[in-house]
């Protein structure tokens, strides 16, 4: 296992000694050895970073991102994260959260993200469509990816799942990579609330 600090040193070395603190995009995906723990202080030094990619590591928990005042895209897919948390410091800037292929069972921790437009959360452990109600505060959310979560087994077809997602998140324009069609919006509005 390696650390965030070591990953950033490797990134700087492979980018001709560029300063990570000045970079707008940092890619620490698939580190060898993998990053196991995030470090608030190290990540906080990435003051100009707009896109931080940490996919395909062994990260098990999120940390506060104090100092990352420009962050727009956070990629944490293919890790061991169980809980979405500590995003308050990037609440006003984060637009995209890519967190597929983890062990997330709850959509708590996202309500603070007022500018979130994209949430990729496929292949996690979300068991109920009711979890989607926690995203009502994310009024800018337009693009979601939920395929591969256990709640899809609550319905018999992919189309039923799409309609249920639209019913709960009426502002969404794209689900699982496919644009929402006008007839789906009309059909979703006909579904009685629980």
Q: What is the pLDDT of residues 6-49, one digit of tens each?
A: 999 999 999 998 999 999 999 999 998 999 999 999 999 999 99
* Separation CA 69–CA 44 (nearest Å): 9
pTM metric for this prediction = 0.96
* Average pLDDT value for the chain: 95
Structure confidence at residue 191 (pLDDT): 84
Q: Is the pLDDT of residue 105 over 90?
A: yes
Lowest mean pLDDT among 47-51, 105-109, 154-158, 176-180: 154-158
3-state SS assignment for residue 97: strand
* Separation CA 190–CA 136 (nearest Å): 19
């Amino acid at each position: 296992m390696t650390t965030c600090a070591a990953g950033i040193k490797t990134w700087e070395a492979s980018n001709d000694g560029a300063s990570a603190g000045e970079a707008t995009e940092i890619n620490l995906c698939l580190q060898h050895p993998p990053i196991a723990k995030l470090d608030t202080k190290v990540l906080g030094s990435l003051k100009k970073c707009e896109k931080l990619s940490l996919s395909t590591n062994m990260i098990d928990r999120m940390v506060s991102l104090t100092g990352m005042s420009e962050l727009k895209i956070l990629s944490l897919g293919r890790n061991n994260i169980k809980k979405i948390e500590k995003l308050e410091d990037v609440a006003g800037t984060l637009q995209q959260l890519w967190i597929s292929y983890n062990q997330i069972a709850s959509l708590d921790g996202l309500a603070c993200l007022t500018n979130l437009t994209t949430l990729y959360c496929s292949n996690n452990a979300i068991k109920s469509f009711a979890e989607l109600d926690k995203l009502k505060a994310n009024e800018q959310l337009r693009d979601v990816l939920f395929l591969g979560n256990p709640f899809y087994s609550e319905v018999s077809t992919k189309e039923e799942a799409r309609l249920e997602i639209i019913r709960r998140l009426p502002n969404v324009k794209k689900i699982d990579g496919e644009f929402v069609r006008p007839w789906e919006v009309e059909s979703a509005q006909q579904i009685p609330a629980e």
